[in-house]
Amino acid sequence: MVFPTFRSLVLLLALTGQAGAATLRIMQSEPPRSMDPADQTATFTASVLDPMYEGLVRMLPDGRIVPRLALSWTTSPDGLDWRFILRPGVRFHDGTILTPTVAAQSFARLLSATSGLVGAGHYGTIIASVRPDGPALLVHLSRPYAFLLQLLAGAQADLVSPAAARAGTLGRIPVGTGPYRFVTWKSSDYVEEERNPDYWGPRPAIDRLRWSWSPEASVMNMALRTGEIDVAVPFPALFASRLGDAPFLRLQQQPGAAIYFVALNTRLPPLNDPHVRHALSLATDRPALVAALLHGFGEPDCGPLPPATLGCGQATPALPHDPARARALLAKAGLPHGFALSVAVQEPEEPIAEALQAMWAQAGIRLSIRRLEAGVWVDAAFAGPAAKQQARLGAVITSWAAPFVPDLQLRPLFAGRSEAPAGANLGFFSDPALDQAMADAARTLDATARDALYRDIARRLDAAAAHISLYTPSDLVAHASRVSGLAVLPGGELQLDQAIMTGPP
């Protein structure tokens, strides 16, 4: 007879929920922006929401799309109609039964032109209507779209309870169908979620999730080392190489997909002049940023697409660093003595701004830094042209990740329809010809032809200096060795439904 080991017994108890109330404690670098999946576009907000919400399909870390609330789907020959068979026996956390009518109501809210939802903009340009079709949900597109399944896998398309949506409480109290349900959100401290006893699928191994946040690298590092937390993401590159001296900790590292960039206010002189924007790009030493700020855990950007998407050298060559040429371009633009520029940052991005301040000074650019608390920063970054003009805000430093999908990396940041405050085009860049090119590429179903179109678009955006691409960090997730089963999407979003903890803290 073979007897189980103590370790296997602990694992078995964790998997069957008999090992006590296990809580996985996760610290991120920023707080969630909303509990409404459609009213946010932030990677680390999506991580907090993912355990509580589900969409029709899900994207795995390797880019595969798998069924979630949809069991299967079919498409019409012209690619305009998609019919999704919904999973039976699914209930929202408030008891509402998932039906095609309920799913259609969730999409109607997302697609409404008057919803004002931050993450909704791109969906309305692609999806014309969603309606029940017997036991299925029929999604009708305004035009063929090569990335529909990836779009539907986005957090913004997660299905929400119609009752909660009508009550207007989703921003604070999430109501989805996921394996975890909401417990509490102490805005300045933490979010707690507990296992959903009525979940339709496999029961998660961990009873509770507790999310906290700190923008300070040293705080995150110390919290992990002292056992105050179990998972830290994104783990600061400054401390990543030092984890080897702690045998009870592990580091997961993978190529990233989040581009860090400077969104330039193209409505504010002199930034409306492409020569000036090019000068800023030439004054930026990207390899030095990677060495100093990422400690080698990342790659310099070569343009508006991350290195993993089409790849540097394929879409565009490496972006040069040439302060002398930057000064010459400024002189050509009538600014021989440079100019002053203000940038809004959150605390985690302040070191980027300080490094750029020193680099750009060599070209005569005087950068002033406005460090803002998270909520204030969101208001400033997503303000419209008039508000930014009044505030004399010339730039915003932020990041964006849309793994595997060039369209979702480009159109939200550069299309005219995505202009803030309605979308994430924070610098109000506008080029109708490029808008059309991006639309044409997204409807091109042949992958080889589509990649060629995106390479050309990337070159044209670089030529316009639409924004200043900086670098793409590696995805770094540090965790206690007793934690396993963490899945990380390129860009850093966590998927925790397969996470396991073995042994005591």
Task: Give yes or no: residues 155 and 271 share one domain.
Answer: no
Q: Which among 80, 53, 237 is positioned nearest to 158, based on CA atoms?
A: 53
Q: pLDDT by residue (tens digit) across 292-340? A: 999 999 999 888 988 767 655 555 567 889 999 999 999 999 999 999 9
From 125, 143, 171, give the residue that closes a domain. 171
The pLDDT tens digits of the residues spanning 259-280 come to 999 999 999 999 999 999 999 9
CB-based contacts of 392: which residues, under 8 Å, 6+ apart? 268, 342
Q: How confident is the model at residue 4 (pLDDT cuts 50, 70, 90)?
A: very low
pLDDT tens, 194-219? 999 999 999 999 999 999 999 999 99
Q: What is the pLDDT of residue 468?
A: 96
Integer Cα distance of 392 and 341 in angstroms: 9
Summarize the chain as % helix, strand, coil (round to 5).
35, 25, 45
* pLDDT at residue 495 tops 50: yes
Strands 339-345, 494-495: pairing kind: unpaired
Compute the distance between CA of residue 284 and CA of residue 268 in angstroms, rounded to an integer. Answer: 20
366-377: pLDDT as tens digits: 999 999 998 899
Encoded amino acid at 220, one letter? M
Encoded amino acid at 110, one letter: L
pLDDT at 39: 95
Strand ranges for 187-308 from DSSP E: 190-195, 208-213, 231-233, 249-254, 258-264, 298-300
In a domain, 193, yes or no: no
Q: Checking DSSP bridges between strand 70-75 and strand 81-86, what pairing results, if any?
A: antiparallel
Q: Which residues contact 386 (CB under 8 A, 6 or more apart)?
A: none
Amino acid at 196: N
Structural domain boundaries enclosing 434: 259-474
Same domain, yes or no, for 295 and 412? yes
Q: What is the CATH number of the domain that holds 146?
A: 3.90.76.10
Q: What is the pLDDT of residues 402-460, one digit of tens each?
A: 888 899 899 999 999 899 998 899 999 999 999 999 999 999 989 899 999 999 999 99
479 within domain boundaries = no
286-293 and 350-361 helices, crossing angle to 10°: 140
- Token pair belonging to 390: 């009044």
Q: Average per-residue pLDDT in the chain?
A: 91
- Given this model, what pLDDT does residue 388 score? 96
CB count, 10 Å around CB of 501?
Answer: 23
**147 part of a folded domain:** yes
Q: Which is nearest to 503 in space by CA: 1, 2, 19?
A: 19
Q: Select from 128, 144, 171 the last residue of a domain.
A: 171
pLDDT at 313: 53
Residues 273 and 380 in one domain: yes
Does 290 fall in a domain? yes
User: Is this structure's pTM higher than 0.75?
Assistant: yes
Q: Residue 301: inside a domain, yes or no?
A: yes
* pLDDT score for 88: 96
Residue 86 within a domain? yes
Helix (H) or strand (E) holding 401: strand 395-401
Q: Is the pLDDT at 251 greater than 90, yes or no?
A: yes
Give tens-digit pLDDT for 157-169. Answer: 999 999 999 999 9
Residue 305 lies in a domain: yes
In a domain, 191, yes or no: no
Say how far apart CA 140 and CA 304 lie, in whole Å.
Answer: 30
pLDDT of residue 316: 58
- Residue 21 is predicted with a pLDDT of 65
* Same-domain status, 318 and 466: yes
Residue 86 contacts residue 99 (beta carbons within 8 Å): yes
Both 282 and 382 in a single domain? Answer: yes
The model's pLDDT over 121-155, given as tens digits with 9 standing for 90+, comes to: 789 889 999 999 999 999 999 999 999 999 999 99
Helix (H, G, I), strand (E, B) or coil at 187: coil
Of the pLDDT bands very low, low, confident and very high (cuts 50, 70, 90), residue 115 is confident
Give the pLDDT band of residue 244 (cuts 50, 70, 90): confident
Q: What's residue 375's pLDDT? A: 87
In the predicted model, is pLDDT for residue 503 greater than 80?
no
Please tell me the predicted confidence (pLDDT) of residue 11.
38
Here the CATH number for the domain that contains residue 431 is 3.10.105.10
Evaluate if residue 52 carries a pLDDT over 90: yes
pLDDT at residue 19 tops 70: no
Least confident of 92-96, 169-173, 242-246, 394-398: 242-246
Query: How many domains are contained in the chain?
Result: 2
